[in-house]
Structure 1
């Protein structure tokens, strides 16, 4: 198994285990390769451990399975099965079964290229496993710190006046490789970092072509030869980039082919993939589509493939999607002009055409988790909704979306959507979206839209309706908390629990506020006629 299934947790270098003085491990056979890594430790006394290994293990054994008088043939078969399963190394515990590592075992490990470690009597296998997990946790913490610092530097670079080059520079620096931005015709627009060899560079360009929306892909069952200058021609990836080291990388990764060998090409999905990866001459290549409507592609070449580099490159791809989309559409200057005109007092209807449309929807969004969204998350939300007009301030993220763009549920978000509105009605649409979001959160629906069906209240002249609403609600007008609670409680049919969820307060607080409203209004809130009249009035505020 040349590509063992391994977890996304950073592996542990075998040299780091050997350096632990408390373990006392000693290499007695096998290659002294500083690049050897261990993904976990597993103890087994099976004569054939192959069915119980996933790959990447430090296999620990005390030799209980070794029959008396076992010869070279037994050890050769045993070690070959470990290597075939993708085992990283073998740790042999001396005492109480064997006083020393069998010489035939050492010879077999030397022949098959499997590192063999001697585990002294004072070191337990559980102690070795614990050391692996400790080193793994340290590596994971360092990886998270590296990714966090990279995200911050990329966000800072994206805020500069000419952000594309700084973002590419930071990306190349953080992954220790090379980054390129390809135009829709797969020409290198700008690059950063140390360029790879010409053959590898061409392979990355070929990989970028796979992500072009107009790229045609061979039909299922067709065969193709490797690209010139590359041992492995790039192939289409899945719609999400594969996890590093996974056997399931499948359609998104192509392994190296033997010289002159022709390979079966994995059939492409119906839609153009958003990412693809390959490994050429020891260099990991990855490409990310920067929005299907723009055709720009981010190409990355790094010395190794790991989840940290993939995460960093994905963040850069999100940022570059926004930046290239803005350049491609040419609306940045128009939107800046619209903002300036609004600040100088121009009416919204005069500047709306500069934003690309006359009618817009207002979307209010809140993340499903307890953590407020960061700038990258809100930018990704705007991209998913097809708009860069995003306001992340306040409890909810507000997005202005063109009326002709459908708004669909998004994983991880709860959305409230207004009706399509002309610029003079944007404040009302903002209120509609807020109320729709409150109902969506209370009913645990991923998305709710404000109804646009004509209501009975529309038959009353607006001036008279407003005057009646002000007079009826005057006793609680000075207490916004009471007004909001009454509105939400009525909209949720008097449900205490759902109102508490919508307002993020305790249900007892809701009861106290409703009781206070009933007292101030001198009204029986259990009467449906009273509720209807209050709801009519609240709709006007």
Structure 2
């Protein structure tokens, strides 16, 4: 991995950087930090990063290159010293949890300053502190080729700005360039003749996204050096810029690349703001339908340019995290398989009628959705940052691997390691928009009751035909209150201790009562379908 942030005038010292960061960048020995000048900050996990270094840098690593035999460690340190590296920064908590044995001694013997970045401090914090110091002294090297900068500015103003910027960058560097969005949209690539390597780029993007290092990655594809940069909106990666230059990158080239990253970041931020506004408006329209104001909802949707299904709809209630789009995408494949509605995933992607309240997301889907016209070969699979199933790893290559190496950075509040682990969903059968208000209460109640990973498809206004017989059988037993017993058992999802505590009985008594209830029902209360129907019926008892 590697990205250098540097300038020509070497005035920033390690001591200044330490004063700026405090304990987030400290010497391994606890002594005073040397006032040695550094020319930039570089991040790399290569065993030999020296081809990408020019000397004087503070090199940051998670410890992967120094793990192993002492001879390997000493050779790594000697390569850095020979290249004139200013200092080595070791990030803890990802590759290694403590300073490898012998590393401090090897650095001291070679005259290489060794600094520690503690667990929880992202490498980007060091890079940002360096630039803060550069900016304060007003000596940042922002020189770039005027012709290239002009070409990029013109490209950014084109209707197809993303494709134009990527093409202009690739032409300026004499190679190829690609942009891989983090929202699973199709990649932008120029020239198209190199698209065959896209699969490997997705893998590296997944590696960066999982590590959340907010730094670039250097690697090789077919013997060619490739650099992949994260494009950030705030502290979250909106996508990844991959570059294969036709020549060795100069300082001006690096500035051009950073400029492109800024342009892409601005475009992504604008798109994000637009999406957030659309989501807010879509939520307002959806609330009208949920409250039964169908005509008002249709009129409002028409004014806002939203498409409302002309015919029946399906209601999808997803219980999970506060990122409903990610939750629904995590379930797309399972929705189709477990409900038999083969276009469920496409219907979710095309619907803008979504209302979120707490951890429940309610979607109104077109029950007559035709599946859309998107070419699956152009749709990349999911990042698998959550360890869930990807969708469509095809000829372009899929982000089908999950990586955890790299230094952990700050995550967005809605970003979770595994949102699919506790996502459950209820999908209704087709109904009219006018009936949604009558059904939404039961659907949301059922969604709250489901076990994690459970998906249930229900018909509008219809429970299992046996449910009334089950309730009557429980109510007819006079030696104990089996209705309250089964309701408490279901409410606590089969947890004996909690249910017994709620009923005020010993758990053995609860076990005995549940044995009687099971015999009367001629059905297993632990069966998900039986439990779901019983719970809805007993809620009003």
Verify same fold: TM over 0.5: no
